[in-house]
A and B are shown apart, each in its own frame.
Chain A
């Protein structure tokens, strides 16, 4: 790499670390335990603490809720490398992400690529300022893995679309202000070509939500119903009937995000948790079978982290990532499920507690939740289909 760029990056690192040290409140510098620990933004924002509010505002004012987005929309305008440095320094100091939102991770990238100038100016700015809580409306009861089979209709009524139908697995729909949605605008076209991408205000007349209770006992997902909902025409993103390409782009993005989530750098290594839970016998974990399983998991996990690193380097060197995001989505989620199987095994009967008096049964509930990892965002089987067709070039 160019040495002057390298020097600039080191200067950026030093300055960033100093700024984070000074501006990130000490009370926030601890590992994030669950999604509720984040600040999610929205029209009626909820802060867990004054420090959380302060941290969000400071980062927002620096453009660092969306570090790589253009500054004109309230982003930080950082390069990929600078962003990597920022994330590394935040991880070292255990600074939490100041704003967690599907606007940042999913809608934003789609708008940056497919949105018109008015849409970008309005929605991207709202997202970086944490003003709107977005949710995603893709799946339907009859359209899961076969997403393009979706049936929610949007009829052209001249000055608006009239939307009717039902979405499912809309995360936090009951708390969201807006939803980005795939709808069918041409029922006569082939299924991939009659879909459009629209933005709908959740406060519109005719929108209702119902939480879904999961096997973990929690309800972060909802069903969302649209009953004669009027949606302004300007809320269409991209061309009419060309929503599938946006959906595919977004799914790829979502997969790479799911594939990269879970900052493991601050986490205690699995073998240490095992030693604490089960103890050593003659210097070896007292359960020899778990010892093998844990070593195997750790090797695969480090291999995965190195593959993310290698792919990032290859992408910088001009080699496209393409369908590789399907591999990351597959491998990461399968590893995460396996990790929870191992945690359940090494905590034994303690892991089975479900009630409030036992940390609200956190491990058991989290374990149940991981089973969804390989279903949401495209099942593991769909990822394997994509790998075999788009990477390996297998027919059919």
Chain B
């Protein structure tokens, strides 16, 4: 399969780039931040994106989707990364849609996917409980009671948690923290009794929430009791790759802005980009970005082709892209010099988004370890 995107994918990429540049540039994120917008993103804009089919791009046609494939979806995510566009794309589409597609019953798919696709339903995965991404360590308990289950515990770093209509809660129904077995995914309404929430604005000006579950009742399981892990694993693999595509967009944008600055900024009467000390560092970044581009498109293809080694590839992808976004945003701020430290200059937005994205669904260390474990060393 060729590693060049086709005409349809290129068209989506180009039109997305134009749309986002006009409607959701970095300045829009700054505005949301400065206005302390409780939503964390522009609701009308999200509706507009959904109308263009962006929230149902990879959903099969029978559930109202476009069945466009992940290589195509990746192009869209990449463009959203270039503009740092805040939206429920990651929480609702990239993660929740896949959890529903992979684990949901026909009834659940029919009920939820078209509503997500139209931009009316916002969902998110409530997974993390500690400082670091460790899905198997899930401790939030779900105990059988009557027809349903009672949930008790706390979730942190729930992306868009403050505005989501529904949560997919990963809970422990048997075994103990650390075990893959004994995890179950539940669908829980955000307004359910016993849920309390505190909004946690993050450094990238987006929102996440800490959610406490106190005797919350639910009857709706997503997937199979005690056996959520394999599905969750795949959902996270896809999420890592999709998020990496978004990060690749941010990487390229931050890098291009930095190189432009090197060409324009003068010191000692010459452009600072004429200094070899900076040229070589720029050239090294160029190389790492070339590697990242190849890894991302290969990984997107791996989802489309349902490759058996998807987990290995996903960890490889998230690790490498995470390291590279760290490099490029650090160098970006450094090469912009004093101005790079100011809030007026946008390069800092890329640095701050990078740190959140690096941590989301597991950082470099987590994925390097997982990559090695999968290979057996």
Contacts and interface: CB of A to CB of B under 8 A. Distances in A.
Interface stretch (A123-131, A303-311, A359-367): A303-311
A327 interface: yes
Interface in B256-305: 259, 262-263, 270-271, 273-276, 278-280, 282-284, 286-287, 290-295, 297-298
Contacts of A393: 259, 263
Contact of B283 (A271, A295, A387): A387
B280 A284 contact: no
Scoring A272, A285, A307 by chain B CB atoms within 10 A of each residue's CB, the highest score goes to A307
Given A284-B377, A291-B377, A394-B279, A310 B371 contact: no
Contact of B368 (A295, A316, A331): A295
Given A299-B316, A304-B291, A314-B4, A392 B297 contact: no
A395 B270 CA distance: 9
Contacts of A327: 286-287, 290
Contact of B274 (A284, A331, A383, A394): A394
A8 interface: no
B107 interface: no
A272 B282 CA distance: 34
A396 interface: yes
Interface string A382-396: 011101110111111
B294 A307 contact: yes
A244 to B, nearest CB: 23
Interface string B1-16: 0111000000000000
B274 A283 contact: no
B292 to A, nearest CB: 7
A349 interface: no
Contacts of B55: none
Interface residues of B, number: 38
Given A285-B377, A314-B4, A271 B282 contact: no
A274 interface: yes
A69 interface: no
Contacts of A304: 291
Contacts of A319: 4
A387 B372 contact: no
Given A274-B377, A384-B283, A309 B271 contact: no
B271 A395 contact: yes
A215 interface: no
B278 to A, nearest CB: 8
B282 A394 contact: yes
Contact of A384 (B279, B368, B373): B279
A27 B263 CA distance: 58
Residue in A283, A295, A304, A330 whose Cβ sees the most chain B Cβ within 10 Å: A295
A385 B284 CA distance: 10
B297 A396 contact: no
B337 interface: no
Contacts of B279: 384-385, 388-389, 392, 394, 396
B282 A392 contact: yes
Contact of B291 (A285, A295, A317, A331): A331
Contacts of B259: 392-394
B376 interface: yes
Nearest to A290: B377
A300 interface: yes
A143 interface: no
Nearest to A319: B4
B372 A295 contact: yes
A281 to B, nearest CB: 11
A304 B295 CA distance: 9
Contacts of B375: 269, 271
Given A394-B262, A396-B274, A307 B291 contact: yes
Contact of A309 (B276, B287, B294): B294
Given A285-B372, A306-B294, A394-B263, A271 B3 contact: no
B319 interface: yes
A381 B279 CA distance: 10
A251 to B, nearest CB: 17
Interface in B18-70: none
A280 interface: yes
A205 interface: no
A176 B246 CA distance: 54
Given A295-B368, A303-B291, A327-B286, A395 B376 contact: no
A391 B372 CA distance: 35
A292 interface: yes
Contacts of A274: 377
Contacts of A203: none
A326 to B, nearest CB: 9
Interface in A294-346: 294-296, 299-300, 302-304, 306-307, 309-310, 313-314, 316-317, 319, 324, 327, 330-331
A275 interface: yes
A83 B153 CA distance: 61
A330 B284 CA distance: 9
B294 A395 contact: no
Contact of A295 (B290, B294, B371): B371
Interface string A347-372: 00000000000000000000000000
A309 B376 contact: no
B98 interface: no
Contacts of A324: 290
B316 A283 contact: no
A171 B292 CA distance: 35
11 contacts: A275-B377, A284-B373, A299-B295, A307-B290, A307-B291, A313-B4, A388-B282, A392-B282, A394-B263, A394-B274, A396-B274
Q: In the A-B complex, list the 7 residue pairs whose CB atoms are closest, starting with the nearest.
A: A396-B274, A388-B279, A303-B291, A387-B283, A306-B294, A310-B3, A384-B283
Given A303-B320, A393-B263, 10 more contacts: A280-B377, A292-B372, A303-B316, A306-B294, A306-B298, A310-B297, A317-B4, A384-B279, A388-B282, A394-B263
Interface of B: 2-4, 259, 262-263, 270-271, 273-276, 278-280, 282-284, 286-287, 290-295, 297-298, 316, 319-320, 368, 371-373, 375-377
